[in-house]
Amino acid sequence: MKKGLVSCLLFIGFLLAGCRQKESEVLIIPQPQLSKVSSGTYRLQQQTTFSSNLPEEENQEFIEYLQASPLALQLETGDLQKSEVKFTIVAPATEKESLESYQLSVTEKGISVSAPSVAGLFYGFQTLLQLAEQGEGDTFVFPLVEIKDSPRFPYRGLHLDVSRHFRTKEFIKKQLDAMARYKLNRFHWHLTDGAGWRLEIKRYPELTEQAAYRPYPNWKAWWKGGRKYCTKDTPGAQGGYYTQEDAKEIVEYARQRHITVIPEIEMPGHSEEVLAVFPQLSCSGKPYVNSEFCIGNEDTFTFLQNVLLEVMEIFPSEYIHVGGDEADMTSWKKCPLCQKKMKEEGLSDVKELQSYLIHRMEKFLNDHNRQLLGWDEILEGGLAPRATVMSWRGEEGGISAAKAGHDVIMTPGGYCYLDAYQDAPTTQPEAIGGYLTLEKVYSYNPVPEVLTKEEAAYIQGVQANVWAEYMPTPEHMEYMIYPRLLAVAEVAWTQPDNKNWERFHRCALKEVKWLQDNGYHPFDLSKEVGERPEAASLVEHLGRMKPVKYTTPYAPQYTAGGDSALVDGYRGGWTYGDKRWQGFLNTDMDVTVDLGKVTDISSIAAEFMQLSGPYVWLPREVIISVSEDGKTFTEQQHLYTDVPTTEDRLVFRTYQWEGKASARYVRYQALSNGIEGGWLFTDEIVIK
């Protein structure tokens, strides 16, 4: 295959059936900034000629891409005026115009695309491909349209985790093709994590020899079965890694699609696999004990710098992602080397110790003309001077970084984590939890209102994150990615005033069909079930908006609105994170509702959920009691859960008493199962 040749197989059988655009709209994703549709159509024969004024070094790649596309455009070598399709490089209209901008015109005479760079021409061609509808034979039909377009953000990303479940380079290339179609331009490659090391490092071959395979069928079995690694020839070994040549091939494939590959090498946490191979870099000095590097050990920095030197030889990206998230700092507090380092550097706590590592790694990267990118935990203990923050724990980290003058990539879990259920969990394959619909992803605005215009300028873009714990197969991963990635693409490209959910939904239905026809495995949006029925309407009951006394406090992370949450009449949806479920961490739930006067009661009920992945459990026991004076309570019901903690699926259970009683006070106790870090969640105490 010649350099720059697009994968023809992904486009063979190109069909854009259904959902024909109305005369007044353009049905493509992402929606252009300006478009005007006229009546009539233009018909283009396959293998029609095109002309281009691209420089020779860029022209050949572009020619090959156009020839291999469904339109199979052929370069005009004679009279350029004969070309029905023209691609032209033009000077930017203004100094601030994005080099990725383009203008596209389809008239009765032909098609023209102009842009200030080959990237802009490339994106104009992607728009053209989406506009095309199959006509008779080898003819394609286009609406007559004028488009002027440019991206809202320079960073438009997709993150893929290949540590939890390894994916082949062919799979990666396939996703890069889809990214190009939807004008995404950053591929964040999560190459290392506790579940496996996936990149060949020639100085340390043991990393892939001993930590790229696991003797378990999938991540969940590894997580629950001892979390050990093995060599490739071990019976039952699962996993894999990319040679440096593989990685370079993917980098080049991405470059030809105007996508930059950003590698992630985790530090200081999520490093169990490294420390199993090189235990001397941990605080204990023993394998399978620590997850974090020993920051007090200078050999740690030697190792990390040697790894990054090879990484930088493979990946030309400005950014190198160093992780920096979820470090368990317990071992540092007890480690003599770490404590000595803290004393030498005048560090007051272990958060500053992590910051010390991040600062050193940033200087190392800066010295090699690279920039450090990390998850928002790198803010803790003091942010490195030139670091860019990827905000995942909500938007707070991104807001803080922007206010401090640092570039930010927004990727909050509530909108951008594609490992959550995308439809009713009872209809979906197993996921880590949560409920993130296409509509909610589409609703996201990466620029928080609290930022000033000057601060907002530091928001460089947005990224979808795909974590693979519960995605054991390539098909399952694609099912979780698409079509939600399309919503991220439009959030990243299209100005908010040009977004429209109804139009986008029509486009997404069309694109799901395209994805299916081209070998992808998207969620079938046409069969979406939607939100939990219980959450659809207000529940009227005797306890609604009555005073509630909490004997045990709810967790500040999940208040659901505070003291009235359990009697506000609103039921929860499919996820505990929807701000309707109130959470209790490491404690029982014990609340009393004051009805205001002695009242005849026939039913008292509350619903709980269980999802073992995030440690959300049903109560071990439920005790329902009533009282007339608020002092002496009579037990009405004592219930026990019938669901084991080993149950993996999302489960809802209602614990209810029915009978006859007269009372002013209703006490509802839900007892925790005692698992450390465990949650109880309930949405409403319904009293009738």
Q: Which residues are catalytic, by number?
A: 193, 270, 326
Q: Is the N-terminal amide bond of 30 cis, ω within 30° of 0?
A: yes
Pairing of strands 582-585, 679-687: antiparallel
Neighbours of 649 (CB within 10 A): 11
C-beta separation of 182 from 255 below 8 A: no
Tokens of 258: 């105007």
Phi and psi at residue 41, to the nearest 5°: -140, 165
Strand, coil or helix: what is 312? helix
Neighbours of 13 (CB within 10 A): 11
C-beta separation of 175 from 205 below 8 A: no
Cα angle at 545 between 668 and 688, to 5 degrees?
A: 55
- CA 611 centroid distance within chain: 20
C-beta separation of 431 from 420 below 8 A: yes
- CA 263 centroid distance within chain: 16
Q: Is the N-terminal amide bond of 268 cis, ω within 30° of 0?
A: yes
Which residue shows structure tokens 């694609």? 478
H helix or E strand, kind and range, residue 405: none
- CA 581 centroid distance within chain: 23
- At residue 212, what is the residue type? A
Treating both helix axes as pointing N-terminal to C-terminal, what angle do 169-181 and 244-255 enclose, rounded to 10 degrees? Answer: 10
Q: Return d(Cα 112, Cα 132) in angstroms, integer.
A: 14
H helix or E strand, kind and range, residue 323: strand 319-323
- Burial (0-12, 13-18, 19+ Cβ within 10 Å), 244: middle
Treating both helix axes as pointing N-terminal to C-terminal, what angle do 484-493 and 474-481 enclose, rounded to 10 degrees? Answer: 40
Phi and psi at residue 683, to the nearest 5°: -115, -30
DSSP characters over 419-479: TSBSS-GGGS---SS-B--HHHHHT--SS-TTS-HHHHTTEEEEEEEE--TT--SHHHHHH
What length is written for the chain? 688
Phi and psi at residue 279, to the nearest 5°: -60, -20
Strand, coil or helix: what is 322? strand
Tokens of 562: 């505070």
DSSP characters over 155-184: EEEEEEE-SSS---HHHHHHHHHHHHHTT-
Calculate the alpha carbon distances from 364 to 119, 126, 271 in Å: 31, 39, 20
